[in-house]
Amino acid sequence: GLRTWWRAAMNSDAKGDRKPVVAFHASVASAVVVSTPLVLGFASLLQRSERIKEVGLRDAVLIIGAAGALIVLLLVSAILRPIFERACEKLDGSWGLPRPRSQLLRYVLFVALPVGLLLIPMFAEFGVKLGILSAPFALLLFFTAEGLLWQLTQAFSRKWLEPGGRPRAFVVRAWAGLLVVAAGISIALFELWPGASAAIAAGRVTSSVAVRLQRITDVDRDGVSSLFGGGDCAAFDASRSPTRSEIPNNGIDENCDGFDATNAQVLPELAPYYGELPEAGKKRFNVLLLVVDSLRPDHLSAYTYNKKTSPYMKELARDAWLFTRAFAQSSTTGLSMPSMLSGRRPSAIQWKGGYPETLESERMLPALLRQQGYDTTLAINRYVVRHLKGLQRDFQHVVTVPEGADWKSGEYIISNVVSAVEDAKRSGRPFFITAHFDDVHHPYRAHLGRSVQNFPSSQRDISAYDRCIAHFDNMLRFLTSYLKQAGAWDDTIVILTADHGEEFEEHGGTIHSRTCYVESVHVPLIVRIPGFEPQRISRRVALTDLAPTLIEAMSLPRDRFPVDGQSLFVPALAPGMAPVDRPIFCSVFQLLSGRKNFFTRSVRTDKHVLIYESLSDRVELYDAVTDPGESKDIASSNPEAVEELRQLLGASATGNLWEARRFQ
């Protein structure tokens, strides 16, 4: 029976019948070797089959492909089996099958190799997402490596063992001493080895363990350690750490950025308002702010994309201002949305700790408009309801979607917007509605079950992403049609933008919330203000410009509402007033506990882009003119530009963003 066959195949007795053992292992080996290219081929077929629009035909092709692969597997395995039998026969004679006679080989094959094949690729690919599992996985890898070293010791150093097989005392002491010395050297030299700090900051080692070690080694209790990528430049001086503000010209580097601030270290002046807007252009407009999470402009046919993903967005842009170089102030919603609604960069805002929430003292547009008699509504999914509490604080109405609708909730958001418009009409008050759409957000599944055109791509995620954009574009068509039919179109400012971009491995990463590279912060910006001629504007602008734009368009009170941005009326109506060399900032840090620990900031000018990772002290510089994709780091050859831009970064940090990044 089957049990008898299995026992014969797994027989370890070298004097017994070895033919069943050799035959079984030869069959397995040939099947593994043959199936590897077949699996890769079928994966390629699966990806290419997405180009077949007819679902039934695509399924038939996949079924035929799978059946063909199975037939090939059986035939080729049978042909190659004699070759593998000869190889397995030699292995059995030399080492022994199925379990090698050598203890070292058994440990390598059955412990070290499986653990390594399982965990090492997981750390390389998913280390950022392992969270609290990273610590036990790391311990398992550590003890596996220690066991391998011990097996090597036993195999090649028998003289180190006593007759009973126990290790001699000096060997135990040597191993213990070696571990202690190695740990001490690692800690002492950690900050002298930039790659180690970068590895911690990038999450390539156990981030949760690193965070705990940082807390333990925070000697001066200023919240930052000088070890394990913490970034504290003065371990015993609580007045100096990355959390502190600089005092100019005192010869002391308070904020650990590498130099003392000077009086010249100030941001260029930026006129926040146009100031000459005709009275006819000012009125109590309604405002509809549409924020599409993760939407990139280079995937929109309204911009430069060669695929027709957004025809209705393009139609909207024909009657609006379209900004080709608009940048978000963060690559994560938690920082970008408050920045957008306050008109202030994240590094200038006062935050509460934990998942970022602005202090009540921070002024937001919804509160200002509410005081002016506006009906204010925020339409969001349940994820935003749970995590962005501060964003909801100043709205009169917060409407959300049913459970389970996140990442495909556009229809519900549209319905909530329509209801809010109708409610405002009945009340006789103007409305301010902010609608945050998640349909283009990872995992890019909003298009599923919808009649949406397919956009083939060599990357499956990009194809799905483009289809999600097309799905949102269809909903935008309905919304604009409704506003026209409801009689609100001529009295409503419509703004369409994104809170950040999206990564598709341009710099090795995916999704968002991790970097300040161009793909993460370059966003679409379409602004329609009734009464103003449409135009395409190439001046660099920021999402902090939206607040002063609305304040100016609706003649809202400007006192006690400080902004870092500049009204979009300036580049639209008086481009000469918009400074060409205006610095635009980005900040992003670790938001979810257990993920990789990092704190990245950037500044963009007309000539350069500087990206600074604080925890690893890594600086990158890119030529904004000749290298718009930010692929060639020129920091080492341009120290003057690096120093100038780092001074701008230092001058921009007037809030408490560093403290807010710590989990509480």
Confidence at 203, pLDDT banded by 50, 70, 90: very low
CA dihedral defined by 24, 29, 31, 36, rounded to 10 degrees? 160
Confidence at 440, pLDDT banded by 50, 70, 90: very high
The β-bridge partners of 585 are 603
Predicted model pTM: 0.69
Q: Return the ∠ at Cα 141 (arms to 136 and 146), rounded to 5°.
A: 125
Outline where 389-504 has alpha helix (H): 389-392, 410-427, 460-485
Average of per-residue pLDDT values in the chain: 83
Whether the predicted pLDDT of 191 surpasses 60 = no
Among 326, 340, 305, 331, residue whose Cα is nearest residue 517: 331
Could you give the percent of the chain with pLDDT greater than 90? 42
Q: Maximum distance among all alpha carbons in the chain?
A: 103
Among 204, 184, 195, residue whose Cα is nearest residue 126: 204
Contact by Cβ (8 Å): 354, 569: no
Least confident of 140-144, 432-436, 637-641: 140-144
**DSSP states of 581-601:** T--EEEEEE--STTS---EEE
Q: Return the ∠ at Cα 125 (arms to 124 and 129), rounded to 5°.
A: 105
Least confident of 174-183, 527-536, 631-640: 174-183
Q: How many residues does the chain have?
A: 664
Least confident of 204-208, 332-336, 560-564, 593-597: 204-208
Among 451, 441, 502, residue whose Cα is nearest residue 299: 502
Per-residue pLDDT tens digits for 367-384: 999 999 999 999 999 988
All domains in the chain, ordered by first residue: 2-101 (no CATH), 279-589 (3.40.720.10)
Report cis status (omega within 30 of 0) of the bond before 443. yes
Among 331, 387, 394, 398, residue whose Cα is nearest residue 356: 387
